[in-house]
Amino acid sequence: MRVIDTDTDVDLSALTAWLWQASIGHRVFEERGRQILEIADPADAQVARAAYDAWRAGALPAAPQKVRRSTLRAVGRALLRFPGLTLILLAALLVFPFSLPLGEGHLNPLAALLLFVPQGGTPPGPWRLITPIFMHFSVVHLAFNAAVLIELGRRIERGGSTIGLLLLVGFTGVLSNIAQSVVSGPDAPFGGLSGVGYGLLGFLLALGRRRPTDPRWQLPAGLAMGLLFFLVLFSTGITDAFGMPVANAAHWGGLVAGALAGLLGPVPGRERRALP
């Protein structure tokens, strides 16, 4: 939750040190020439704003000795706040033990049922349009995709709705899988949430253009540029030399699908304005 929007030349280091001493999770980033302070828990918003006002007045008190929440409790709160995101990640984690052997060329019955193209004598079915997004072939593969999905998915679910996020994941997942299947052919198994991740990126970039004053849909420039840089870099085939094929068609297909959804679809919720 964003609580402070100020000039970039304002040094917030003393304030952020106070917030950390008070066990208030937060981050500071630059966006559109402004400096934004965002807190992790909306319940801390009033305390953070009061501390900012006191700091500006030169009367910042000693940080309160706030009891730190246990890791388990913090995880539980996150699961309740983002049920759609949690459901997607849980599905990927449950499938992971069965899709991991595919990285070494070993096919098991469950993985064969989830691939886009039927293999191992398994029957065709409409579920195959979406199930490859839950398949990952290494720990790094899963960790990177999960990190991107958490960073982008939480923004969409918080700014819109759980149903909206799930529909967007389904839409971008199906189209990215179809794009990859067309390019790679029936004999090359593929999987992962990266196509969905780029779909969420395309959605946020497009929606940010439609609602430039709504802070829900504004991404930090560094995050967006970094993901687009890797998209272009991987598309050169540089990873093939290291034996790491990348589903580039899924990435591009997801990006285009997400952008179309952001440009042509309804804008979730009412428009909000950035803090003055």
Active site residues: 194, 251
Chain centroid, CA 172 distance in Å: 13
Q: In 3D, which of 252, 105, 109 has the Cα closest to residue 188?
A: 105
Per-residue tokens: 1:
């939750």
Per-residue tokens: 152:
């982008």
Residue 47: CB atoms within 10 A of its CB come to: 17
CB 136 within 8 A of CB 197: no
Q: What is the DSSP string of 98-116?
A: HHGGGGGT---HHHHHHSS
CB 141 within 8 A of CB 149: no
- The burial class, CB within 10 Å (0-12 / 13-18 / 19+), for 156 is buried
Per-residue tokens: 6:
């100020």
Q: What is the DSSP string of 226-251?
A: HHHHHHHHHHTTGGGGGT----HHHH
